[in-house]
Amino acid sequence: MSRKNVLRYILLGLLAKSELSGYDIKKIFEDEIGEFWKAKHSQIYPELIKLEEQGLIKYRIEIVGSKLEKKYYSITDKGMNELNIWISSSNEIIENKDEFILKLYFIDDKNDIKLEEMISEQIQLHENKLNHLKLRMQIVFDDEEKKKSMYGHYLILDHAVRRENSYLDWLKQIKYKEI
């Protein structure tokens, strides 16, 4: 079974919310979507070209400064229809690629000297991520009205906070030999 190209739907979804430049899209991946889906600059722009060729998005050019041309993309009716079909379709469970978990697989002894350092490092990384997520929650959802108007965004950020809290609890149980 071939995997569907989820990036195309992310781009359609972003453009359904507002007209965006490629740079704007890249920033959204860095600041918001990167919490649950990664895409590189080298993936985003070719996909925008494909979507435009398929009539799912269109663009307009704006002159910025004296000569710089900037493309602003927007979704077409055809693109909105495809987005709605995707949103309504069944979901797949996609495997999580976590290198730390893979490394744990190769630890045989509960008292392995590498384990303590690995766990401590992961705790620090996940505490940093949790702090970042909580800050994003404060910045993006500083009032109840924003939660209502961006409810899906709120739910995924809430999920990410809960996921990091759970992951940290698990790591701390390992560190203190409760497991």
124-171 pLDDT per residue, tens: 999 999 999 999 999 999 989 999 999 999 999 999 999 999 999 999
Amino acid (1-letter code) at residue 34: G
Instruction: Clarify whether residues 41 and 112 are in a common domain.
Output: no
Domain end call among 42, 68, 88: 88
94 part of a folded domain:
no
Domain end call among 56, 88, 120: 88
Q: How many domains does the chain have?
A: 2
| pLDDT tens sequence across 79-138 | 999 999 999 998 877 777 789 998 999 999 988 999 999 999 999 999 999 999 999 999
Reported pTM? 0.76
Q: Indicate the pairing of strand 20-21 with strand 68-75.
A: antiparallel
User: What band does 36 get if pLDDT is binned at 50, 70 and 90?
Assistant: confident
Range of the domain at 19: 6-88
Instruction: Clarify whether residues 104 and 140 are in a common domain.
Output: yes
Domain end call among 28, 60, 88: 88
Burial of 80 (0-12, 13-18, 19+ CB in 10 A): middle
60 part of a folded domain:
yes
Q: How far is CA 60 from the centre of its chain?
A: 26
Q: How far is it, in rounded angstroms, from Cα 75 to Cα 16?
A: 6
Closest listed residue to residue 74, CA positions, set 27, 18, 35: 18
Average pLDDT, the chain: 92
